[in-house]
Structure 1
Amino acid sequence: MRRTPRASRTRAQARTGTRSRTRKKTGNAVIGAVTVVALCSGAWLLHSGAESHPPPQPSAAQAAAAHPGVHRDDAGPAPLPPSPPDRVRIPAIGVDAPLMGLGLTPQGSLDVPPPERENLAGWYEAGTTPGERGTAIVAGHVDNKEGPSVFYELGALHKGRTIEVERRDGSVAVFTVDANEVYDAADFPDEKVYGAAHRPELRVITCGGTYSKKTGYQGNVVVFAHLTAVR
């Protein structure tokens, strides 16, 4: 797995150095736009020559509405108390994977799950837990050198589909997808993705966008979802 390029590490340090001590209190913007740079080497495409079979990318129809309106704080279930998540399921694309906690690297970017474990995702454990009020972050590899990984099909996820997160307290937080978008790394919208929310929200992130043999994927696929049920 390719390490974060030096230029990206420098930007990460500049953007996170003054904010890392506040962590959750200022939202997840602490991890900046380099959240999944290390997820994006495109190892399978690079080693297999499988450029003709890249992962699916979100269509324009899956983007957020231009004028989504104001979310009411009391819409949907009440926020859940904090509880670590143990598993994520996305039935529409066949995801059923355990979750591990992820911290920050010394360079200020989000750490990543071991690439050899293709069916494993991670969550930012210094931030909001899924189901709690605020923005929870889940990230996973799109591939490794052996083939597709846990979020290879994430770009094909449509609005209205559900994401289920099993929590350690025995509850299941069910999120409904509001949008699925892809961003170039140079134009990654930090505040939109990681910013604070007044209701329980979830972001699921992997790599996407243009692919280069030299640098891997040039952007990220980001799924936006909000809590709609609790079991």
Structure 2
Amino acid sequence: MPSRTPHRFRRTAALVTAAAACLALAGCSSSESSSATPATPSASSGRGGAASGPGDPAGSAGSARPSRTGEADRPGPVHVSIPSIGVRSTLMELGLNADGTVEVPPAEKGMTAGWYTGGSLPGTPGPAVLIGHNDTRFGRAVFHDLKDIREGAEVLVRDGAGTTLRFTVTGKETVSKKAFPTRRVYGPTKGSTLRLITCDGEFDAEGHPVDNLIVYGALA
């Protein structure tokens, strides 16, 4: 009989492989167009905000979410708040664009963060990934002050059933989009973990932030 790999680790390995394949497409768009702009699991859009993939991200992301044993009846996250930096936002669902890259919230919804449905559900083993803009062409966005968050800060994630999960920030880092730590962000974890991702750093010649800010958290 052939050996069998646990479902969760097969899914995670596929996720990391897909993420790594997208890294070369990292970037934020300065275009005002509403067409899809390449974005990766490593990058939410910054100033000038990249548009999402075709259609509403909350509506198109569902098919990108893999089936996960034991999660079929669990509601997804619908709200995030970070009291220490004044963040309060509903969460839209983010899936994959047609080219296999990860959706980001549309620029016109810059004050709304999103949950990447290809990752884990908050509260289950593995990393749950929330993506938000720093700035868009419309101005200040939901994760503008994420750089000010400190280790030990609380991040509260509420699901559709009204249950609030408390995560504690364990660290943060700013990384070049050209050297994004895919496995550190998307790789398997034994416990329930959280990653908050936005753009950061200087701008390149086309007005794209060159870095990502990643905040790491763990279920308290």
The aligned residue for residue 45 of structure 2 is: 39
The aligned residue for residue 210 of structure 2 is: 218
C-alpha separation in 1, matches of 2:78 and 2:185 = 22
CA apart distance, 1:123: 0.7
Does the 8 Å contact 1:95/1:151 carry over to 2?
A: yes
Q: 1:154-174 CA deviation, whole Å, 9 max, x = no partner?
A: 111110001000011221010
**How large is the RMSD of aligned CA atoms in angstroms?**
2.0
CA apart distance, 1:23: 7.8
Corresponding residue SS for 2:184: helix
Does the 8 Å contact 1:36/1:207 carry over to 2?
A: no
Match of 1:175 among 167, 179, 183: 167
| More displaced 10-residue stretch of structure 1: 209-218 or 122-131 | 209-218
Which structure has more RCO (C-alpha within 8 Å, separation ≥ 6)?
1
The aligned residue for residue 165 of structure 1 is: 157
1:195-214 matches, cutoff 5 A: 195-214=187-206
Aligned residue type for 1:31: A
Match of 1:26 among 2, 8, 13: 13
C-alpha separation in 1, matches of 2:207 and 2:154 = 32
C-alpha separation in 2, matches of 1:100 and 1:31 = 20
Runs of 4+ residues over 4 Å off in structure 1 = none
Q: Which segments of 5 or more consecutive residues in structure 1 lack a partner in the other structure?
A: 1-21, 45-80
Match of 1:143 among 131, 135, 152: 135
Q: Which segments of 5 or more consecutive residues in structure 2 lack a partner in the other structure?
A: 1-8, 24-39, 50-72
Please say if 1:123 is aligned against 2:110: no
Distance 1:104 1:148, change over 3 A: same
1:68-147 matches, cutoff 5 A: 82-147=74-139
C-alpha separation in 2, matches of 1:111 and 1:100 = 11
Aligned positions, number: 170
The aligned residue for residue 6 of structure 2 is: none
Match of 2:184 among 192, 195, 213: 192
C-alpha separation in 1, matches of 2:122 and 2:45 = 21
